[in-house]
Structure 1
Amino acid sequence: MTFGEVPDERFLLLVYRVPSSTSRARVAVWRELKRMGALYVQQAVCVLPDRPGVRERLGKIRARIGELEGESMHFVLDKVEEQERHMLVTSFKENSAKEYAEIVEECETKFFKEIEFERFRENYTFEEAEEIRQDLEKLKRWLRKVEERDWMGAPGRDVATAKVAECEQLLEAFEADVYERVGGSEQG
């Protein structure tokens, strides 16, 4: 069975256990692994591509698991069957594509609407422009994080990048309008 062009990728497998006395510890480990872009194959078992920096970050998470009185085992998967490798690559791509789609949705349903609403209200204040600027910075950070863990070149990156750029253009136009309306009157 052939699946087309799937890179001959080495993967890292992490199997861990964190004491069940508190969900806080389990959630903290899960959250950090998800931030890295880990793909969970079942509870407390995840896979990451063997890429520069990943082993070091994984080592820190394993140390944290130890501090939480948990245990972990780390394996390097040198040889992964083509079908499983294809499934892993596809799953990584799907995860990243979903995140890119969420960024696009955030731009279209919240950011664009926020600027439209403030224009409708004629709320041309420096404070409002600054608040929207902070929202844009959050979107940019989110996009950078998704790009960093987009191990397999998922679809949607270009669309998400374009939408965030469109957000920036809308904000710059709004800021220009704020300056024109109140910029001179705030000096004094």
Structure 2
Amino acid sequence: MDKWILLTHQIAQDAPNLRVKVWRNLKKRGAVLFKNAVYLLPYTKEHEESMQWICKQIRDSGSDASLFITESMDKKHKEEIIKTFQEACNKEYVPCIDQCSDVLKQIEQIEGTEGVTDRSVEDLKRKLSEIVKSADEIAKIDFFHAPQRDEFLEKIESIRKRIEKWSKKMKEEAPVVNTVYQKKAFLGKKWVTRKDIYIDRLASAWLIRRFIDPNAKFVFISKGENNLPKNAIPFDMYGAEFTHHGDACTLETLIKAFDLKDHALRPIAEIVHDIDLKDNKYNRKESEGIAQIITGLSKKLNNDNKLLEKGMEIFDALYHYYTTKTKGGN
């Protein structure tokens, strides 16, 4: 493209609102300030009409504006103009790229904490949609394919692939919540989960030892470690059978998978759910206090085995409380 529309204006000093309004209109249409002298747009009939409208707006407000149609003097001049457009769009893409990077970090965090749920997938889809919508507006004025656009598209594709992988994995794992497992097949086992246990893994370990496998042994592995102990049963880990399913945390999955009917487990599961998923689904008033206790112990002990030992006492106490309450005791 060698043909361009140029706009120059002299807006009165006492009209700052008009100056801002004109700048926003020019920016919205993709016009760039070339050599701090004139605003440029590639020539199209549509662009010409838009610039004429802006000129009229300036003049009607008592200031001055002029519009010119010209051509590039030579190849070097054309390349310089195109580079100006690309640099302007590069700056516009940067926030979108940063948002994509934040989403990818969030994905890593969710995978690292095994918190993949229908809710988290939908949340990421919504964020992706918002980012793409913003980028679509930039694409409308990216007349010369700014280099940052490629980086942005790569990140978008990466996010889409991860979401698709999650969705597929969750569909494959969905039957577990409809399967009832026999406790006798899980006696005397070694159970494995990630290090730095928190509420869901802690509560799940308590449930396993108290209701499924009294002699269960627990192993904690580092994030990203794929070599699980031989014959160990993973829980609250991405890709495991006993982990998050739909909007259920791992504790809820275990209760359903082993068909545990004890009524005292329900309020405990609701507390753990609210703390772990932070969605306030059950609005349990106890959640904040329990979360503070577990967080404090975790920081104080800084050791998974010691935290597990203390956690067993906490959940034993909770279970005793709700058992007594269920039976109508004081």
Q: TM-score, normalised by structure 2?
A: 0.44
Q: 1:38 maps to which residue?
A: 31
CA distance in 1, matches of 2:141, 2:39: 14
Q: Structure 1 residues 125, 87: closer, same or farther in 2, change over 3 A?
A: same
Q: Structure 1 residues 168, 39: closer, same or farther in 2, change over 3 A?
A: same
Contact 2:52–2:67 (8 Å) recurs in 1: no
Contact 2:34–2:40 (8 Å) recurs in 1: yes
- Aligned-pair distance for 1:72? 1.4
Contact 1:143–1:161 (8 Å) recurs in 2: no
Contact 1:19–1:68 (8 Å) recurs in 2: no
> Is residue 2:130 matched to residue 1:138?
yes
Q: 1:3 maps to which residue?
A: none
Q: Structure 1 residues 41, 117: closer, same or farther in 2, change over 3 A?
A: same
Contact 1:115–1:174 (8 Å) recurs in 2: no
> Is residue 2:99 matched to residue 1:106?
yes
Aligned residue pairs total: 176
Q: 2:161 maps to which residue?
A: 169
CA distance in 2, matches of 1:123, 1:25: 49
Q: 1:18 maps to which residue?
A: 11
**RCO greater where, 1 or 2, for CA within 8 Å and sep 6 or more?**
1
CA distance in 1, matches of 2:125, 2:58: 37
**Identity in percent:** 21
Q: 2:247 maps to which residue?
A: 182
Instruction: Tell me the secondary structure at the aligned position of residue 24 of structure 1.
Output: helix
Q: Structure 1 residues 167, 61: closer, same or farther in 2, change over 3 A?
A: farther
CA distance in 2, matches of 1:95, 1:43: 13
Q: Which moved more, 1:76-85 or 1:143-152?
A: 76-85
Q: 2:41 maps to which residue?
A: 48
Q: Which moved more, 1:19-28 or 1:116-125?
A: 116-125
Q: Structure 1 residues 69, 159: closer, same or farther in 2, change over 3 A?
A: same
2:84 maps to which of 68, 71, 91: 91
Q: TM-score, normalised by structure 1?
A: 0.71
CA distance in 1, matches of 2:55, 2:15: 18
- Aligned-pair distance for 1:164? 1.5
Structure 1 residues without counterparts, runs of 5 or longer: 1-6
Spell out the pairing of 1:65-84 with structure 2 (5 A cutoff): 65-84=58-77
CA distance in 2, matches of 1:96, 1:168: 23
Amino acid at match of 1:149: I
* RMSD over equivalenced CA pairs, Å: 3.4
- Aligned-pair distance for 1:163? 1.4
Contact 1:16–1:44 (8 Å) recurs in 2: no
Amino acid at match of 1:32: N
Amino acid at match of 2:53: K
Q: Structure 1 residues 30, 64: closer, same or farther in 2, change over 3 A?
A: same
Cα shift readout 1:118-161 (whole Å, capped 9, x = no counterpart): 554948474x6555444322211222222222222332433322
- Aligned-pair distance for 1:99? 3.5
Contact 1:125–1:182 (8 Å) recurs in 2: yes
Instruction: Tell me the secondary structure at the aligned position of residue 181 of structure 1.
Output: coil
- Aligned-pair distance for 1:18? 2.9
- Aligned-pair distance for 1:16? 1.5
CA distance in 1, matches of 2:37, 2:121: 43
Structure 2 residues without counterparts, runs of 5 or longer: 175-244, 253-280, 282-330
Contact 2:116–2:166 (8 Å) recurs in 1: no
